[in-house]
Amino acid sequence: MSMPRICLLVTLAAACAAVDFGAPAPGLDGVTWIKGKAPVTGVVTVVEFWATWCGPCLKSIPHLTALQKRYRDQIAVVGLSDETAAEVKPFVEKQGADMDYAVGLVPAPLREKYMAGVAGIPYAVLIDAKGVVAWTGHPMSMDRPLQQVLAGTYDPVVAKQVAALEKELQALLENAQSPDQLGAALAKTTAILAIDPTHRMTIDLRLALANHLGKPDVVRSTLGGLARANLDPAHAAAVANARLEIDDLAQRHLDLAVALVEQALAKAPTDADVLAAYAGVMSEIGRLDDAIAALTKAAATAPQDARLAAAIDYYRGAKALGTKGPGAAPTPAPAPGVVP
C-alpha cells in the first residue's frame, strides 16, 4: 500500500473548529437552497460542508443519502457549498436520487462561523434536537454519534476525548514518512478505539497502516477485536470486502472477513451493498451458489444497478467452468465472423 492511499484515509476533523460541543449551533439564515429546504426546529440535523471538486466529499454523498433514508423524519441532512449556483445546481441535478437530502449555497459569514479553524472538507456538524452542537468531524465517522444522539445515550465528554486524539493523530500523519512515525500513528489509533471501538475512519486507518507496515498480527487482532454487533452493517461489509483487495495473502484473514460480512448480512439482510459485499467474500472462498443467491436478492432490491446483473452472469459463468472438471473439453470457439 502506498503512502498516498493511507493519507486519503486521514481526513479526520480538526479539533479547533469555531463551533464546539455543547454550544448553540449557528442558524442557517442566508442559505440559498438548491434542493430541499431549511430543516425545521426540533429535529436532529447534520450540516455538512462540501464542494463539487472535493473527491472525499463525493465519496460521502451516498453515505449521507443512506443515513437520511435510514432515519427518515428523525434527522435532516443538509449539504452546504460555498460555490456558485452555476457550479452546484447541475451537479446536484446529475446526482439525482443519489444525493437525496437538502443542498444549499452557504454565504461566507455563515461558513466562517462553522468552519473557522477547520483543516478541510468534507466536514460535518451534528446538531441535536435542541439546536446544540453534539459532534463535529468527518461525515464517514458520524454513524455512531448519530445513533447515540437519537437514542439519548450520547456522551459529549467522551466525544471531546476522541476529538483531541483525532487531532493528535492527524498531526502525526501530516508529515509521517518513516516506519517509526507511522508506528506512532498506529499506536494513536489504539487509544481512539479504546474509547470508541466503532470509530469508522480510525478502524479503516488502523487496518491501512498495519497493512502498509507489514503487520499481519495487528491486522488480525484488529479485525478479530471489532465489536461486530455494534458496527454499522455497511461499514462491516466494506471492511470485509476490502480484505479481498489486499495483495499480501497473509494479511487477508478471510475467516474474519466471513464473520464480519455474515454479521452485516444478519443486521441488514436486504441492503444491496451488504449483499454485494457478502457475494464477493463468498465467491472468494468458493461458495458460488451463495454469491449468486445474494446478488440475485440484491438485484431485486436495486434493479437499476446493471453491475449486479453483470456480476451474477460472471459468477454463473465461473460456476459453469468449475463444474466441467479438469478433463472436460473447452467450449468450442465460434467460427470467424459468426456472432455466438
CB 125 within 8 A of CB 133: yes
Q: Across the chain, how many H-helices and E-strands are there?
A: 14, 6
What torsion do the CA atoms of 29, 30, 32, 35 make, to the nearest 10 degrees?
Answer: -10
Return the higher-pLDDT residue of 92 and 136.
92
* Confidence at residue 83, expressed as pLDDT on a 0 to 100 scale: 97
CATH code assigned to 158-323:
1.25.40.10
CB 76 within 8 A of CB 46: yes
**Residue 153 pLDDT > 50, yes or no?**
yes
* Confidence at residue 338, expressed as pLDDT on a 0 to 100 scale: 29
- The residues that bridge with 219 in the sheet, in sequence order, are none
Domain ranges of the chain: 3-156, 158-323
* Confidence at residue 104, expressed as pLDDT on a 0 to 100 scale: 97
Q: Does the domain formed by 3-156 have CATH 3.50.50.60?
A: no
C-alpha span between 186 and 208 (Å, rounded) = 9
**Residue 325 pLDDT > 70, yes or no?**
no
Q: Of the ranges 9-13, 49-53, 127-131, 275-279, which one carries the lowest mean pLDDT score?
A: 9-13
Mean pLDDT of 204-230: 92
Return the higher-pLDDT residue of 57 and 334.
57
- Written as one letter, the residue type at 321 is L
Q: What nine digits make up the cell of 129?
A: 434536537
CB 309 within 8 A of CB 317: no
- In this chain, the answer to whether the domains covering 3-156 and 158-323 adopt an identical fold is no
* Confidence at residue 267, expressed as pLDDT on a 0 to 100 scale: 92
**Residue 140 pLDDT > 90, yes or no?**
no
C-alpha span between 131 and 25 (Å, rounded) = 6
* Confidence at residue 41, expressed as pLDDT on a 0 to 100 scale: 87
Sheet holding 123-127, edge to edge: 32-35, 102-105, 75-81, 44-49, 123-127, 133-137
Using a 10 angstrom Cβ sphere, with 0-12 exposed, 13-18 middle and 19 or more buried, the burial of residue 294 is buried
- The residues that bridge with 79 in the sheet, in sequence order, are 48, 103
Confidence of residue 62 (pLDDT cuts 50, 70, 90): very high
* Confidence at residue 323, expressed as pLDDT on a 0 to 100 scale: 66
pLDDT tens sequence across 223-244: 999 988 888 898 899 999 999 9
Residue closest to 77 by CA, chosen among 50, 116, 109, 108: 50
Return the higher-pLDDT residue of 26 and 330.
26
- Written as one letter, the residue type at 142 is M
* Confidence at residue 18, expressed as pLDDT on a 0 to 100 scale: 63
CB 114 within 8 A of CB 49: yes
* Confidence at residue 160, expressed as pLDDT on a 0 to 100 scale: 82
